[in-house]
Amino acid sequence: MAPSSTRPTSRDVAQRAGVSQAAVSLVLGDKWRGRVSAPTAERVRQAARDLGYRPNLAARNLRLGRTRTVLLVVPVLTTEFFAGVYTGAARVAAGHGFGVVLYPSPEGRPLRAAPIPDPFASAQAAVDGVIASSMTADALTAIRGDQLPLVMLDSDPAGNLGAATVNLDIADGVRQIAEHLLGLGHRRFLHLAADVPSWTFEVRARELAARVRAVPGTTLRTARAPISIDAALTAAEAALSRPGPRPTALVCDDDKMAAGAYKALRRLGLRVPDDVSVTGLDDLALATALDPELTTVRLDAELFGEHGMRALLAVLEGSTPEAGDIPVELVVRGSTAPPGTS
């Protein structure tokens, strides 16, 4: 063994294995096949293990022009969903020797408009690629300057700015909600829509309208609000207080918005689901904290992050990412029931 006070070098490995430093580099860089014999390669690996040798990845990456770092850009850091996306992406990245740097684009604004300094102004030199969720074109340009491989999450494949797109099957999730509510007999709908200019929310609105209006005798109204409990409460209370027949089903773009809808209904003296059925979308921990528990669409955030990272790794390797949207699942709980007589 090399003395404990000295970090072993590739020269030490070469001397112990009785080979050249070039051979050590080939073997430990997994480029030995056809250039070094299998027994010699194993002898080099054993020497490295015996010495406790660890390659200097920083120096190696500088030589290769790679940082093995990925930038994950999300709208907010303080949400359960995007925490899951990061967890999934980081897990896959770690398995391939990559690190993930997480950065928020506050409220979806471009980075250059953010109220805090942008530490990634030189991102082209700092990271190998970008995974971006729910971002604007301006923000993406500010980050990557059209220089870095980009994978988009929750983005229109037809207008995609990146090398690949990874989506949850949001349209199918909304279809499942609509079919569930229509099957229960609901015909008067209120859509509590997220006031966010994003492809994923456009899909929700378009799919819900198509499914509901395909059934004779249905009505669909829309109220918009930012994604927060208080904003949803205000919007839902105003929409439900309007003259005319009250909606019997309230479809919310997000579980937090559904929580606001619950509060609005209680303020108006209405019960869930006796007077109004409520659905959400995400299946956050909040969904089972509500009373009654919320019927919602389960989105696997960690799987979403995993797919996004795998797609970027494929792009970096010059291969084609796996195609197809990630399936979602309607979870039926106590917040939906056949409409009452009121």
**DSSP class per residue in 241-287:** TSSSSPPSEEEESSHHHHHHHHHHHHHTT--TTTT-EEE-SB--THH
Residue spans of the domains in the chain: they are 10-55, 67-166+302-326, 170-299
pTM for the model stands at 0.75
Distances (CA, A) of 45 to 11, 42, 54, 61, 95: 13, 5, 11, 20, 20
Most confident of 86-100, 203-217, 307-321: 203-217
Peptide bond into 117 cis (omega under 30): no
169-182 confidence digits (pLDDT tens): 999 999 999 999 99
Mean of pLDDT values over 24-35 = 77
Please give the sequence-ordered ranges of beta strands (E in DSSP) within 99-217, or none if there are none. 99-104, 129-133, 150-153, 164-166, 188-194
In terms of pLDDT, which residue wins out, 85 or 21? 85
Residue 109: pLDDT above 60?
Answer: no
For 229-238, what is each residue's pLDDT tens digit? Answer: 999 999 999 9
Query: What pLDDT sits at residue 69?
Result: 87
What was the pLDDT predicted at 135? 53
Of 40, 56, 70, give the one whose Cα is nearest residue 8.
56
Cα gap 45→53, rounded to integer Å: 9
Same fold yes or no, 10-55 and 67-166+302-326 = no
Options 3.30.70, 1.10.3470, 1.10.4160, 1.10.260; CATH of 10-55: 1.10.260
CATH code at 170-299: 3.40.50.2300
Distance CA 64, CA 73 (A): 25
For residue 183 the two structure tokens come to 């099957």
Is 339 in a helix, a strand, or coil? coil
Q: Which CATH number fits domain 67-166+302-326: 3.40.1710.10, 3.90.1300.10, 3.40.50.2300, 3.40.50.920?
A: 3.40.50.2300
* pLDDT score for 162: 74
- 132 in Cβ contact with 150 (< 8 Å): yes
Tokens of 138: 């301006």
Q: Which structure tokens are listed for 155?
A: 């983005």
Distance CA 89, CA 98 (A): 10
Decide if pLDDT at 325 tops 90.
yes
pLDDT of residue 124: 46
Quote the pLDDT of residue 117. Answer: 45
Average of per-residue pLDDT across 78-106: 86
Q: What is the mean pLDDT of residues 132-139?
A: 61
Cis before residue 292, ω within 30 degrees of 0? Answer: yes
Count Cβ atoms below 10 Å from residue 213 Cβ, excluding itself: 12
With 90 as the cut, is the pLDDT of residue 342 above it? no
Spell 155-168 as b/e; 16+ CB within 10 A means b: beeeeebbbbbbbb
- In the predicted structure, residue 341 carries a pLDDT above the cut 70: no
pLDDT higher than 70, residue 333: yes
How far apart, in whole angstroms, are the C-alpha atoms of residue 44 and residue 62?
A: 24
What is the arithmetic mean of pLDDT over 130-148? 62
Give the single-character DSSP code of 159: G
CA distance 287 to 280: 8
Under a CB-based contact definition with an 8 Å cutoff, are residues 19 and 40 in contact?
yes
CB hemisphere CA count around 235 (13 angstroms): 26
Can you tell me the distance from the alpha carbon of 301 to that of 91, in angstroms, rounded to the nearest whole number? 13
What is the pLDDT at residue 282? Answer: 94
Q: Quick one: pLDDT band at residue 147, thresholds 50, 70, 90?
A: low
> Token pair 């850009």 is at which residue?
73
Res 138: pLDDT: 52
pLDDT digits (tens, 9 = 90+) for 36-91: 888 998 998 899 888 887 665 444 444 445 678 888 888 777 788 989 999 999 99
More confident residue, 63 or 100: 100
- The torsion angles phi and psi of 119, rounded to 5 degrees, stand at -75, -5
Structure tokens given for 181:
């509510």
